[in-house]
Amino acid sequence: MNTKHLLLFIIWSTSILTTHSMDNKQLTRGILIAMEGIDGAGKSTLAQTVHATLAEHGFDTLLTKEPGDTELGKEIRALIPTQTMPISPKAQFLLFAADRAQHFSSLIIPSLAQKKLIISDRLADSSLAYQGYGEGLPLDAIRDINCWAMDNVAPDLTIFVRIPVKTALERCNKRGALSAYEQRTDFLHKVADGFEELYKNRTNVIIVDGTDQAENLNIQVCEAIKQWIETNKLAS
């Protein structure tokens, strides 16, 4: 972290602690925040740092992801990216939907009842972008099944990490072997365009630049979440 970024972080941290501090305040209800973006956008790292920072400042937070935070999800996470057997786009989505149903019933909904601030690395919009816009499955069908799987619970806020596909793929290449999704450049362009279409008219979406420095993104997103909570009077 260079001097400029360190100074920004110190100023931001001090403002949270001394001005309208939310430390030790209780949420009036549970809050569900989704982190979305294409592979290589940096959303997983951002989800981790935002979770850690908000927890340090007194929020009762939970970090989770889809698929993977249920036993079923772990199996799907191991199966889908490698594509060791042919899986149709419809079957892929239904596998993700099954995990989503388990995820919500066993973790998300109980945690919301406990008034936690939940940050999930991917939620329903990933299916719309990947299996809908990317694979061409009917968007309305995906929406209906997602709604059913999630017991009509939707994210309160979505953080969309926007990044050029070329940059995302360069990052993926540096990580090692590309997944089945990452090997399909045209497909990822469709997914990226799908996210843009999903969020162009939504009012509960915060769009951030995935090419920015990680510490800047963390500061920006944490401050935006804090302001959103204050504006909606969700802390007492």
**Structural fold of domain 27-231:** Rossmann fold (3.40.50)
**Counting Cβ atoms within 10 Å, is residue 80 exposed (0-12), middle (13-18) or buried (19+)?**
buried
Q: Which of 20, 62, 42 is nearest to 216 (CA)?
A: 42
pLDDT of residue 78: 77
pLDDT in tens, 106-139: 999 999 999 999 999 999 999 999 999 999 999 9
Q: Which two tokens stand for residue 220?
A: 């920006």
The model's confidence at residue 41, banded by pLDDT at 50, 70 and 90, is very high
3-state secondary structure of 33: strand
Which of 128-142, 171-185, 221-235 shows the lowest mean pLDDT across its residues? Answer: 171-185
3-state secondary structure of 175: helix
pLDDT at residue 14 greater than cutoff 50: no
pLDDT of residue 58: 92
Give the separation between CA 184 and CA 192, rounded to whole angstroms.
Answer: 12
pLDDT at residue 174 greater than cutoff 60: yes
Question: What's the average model confidence in pLDDT over 53-69?
Answer: 92
Question: HSE (CB half, 13 Å, CA atoms) of 223?
Answer: 16
pTM of structure: 0.86
pLDDT at residue 3 greater than cutoff 80: no
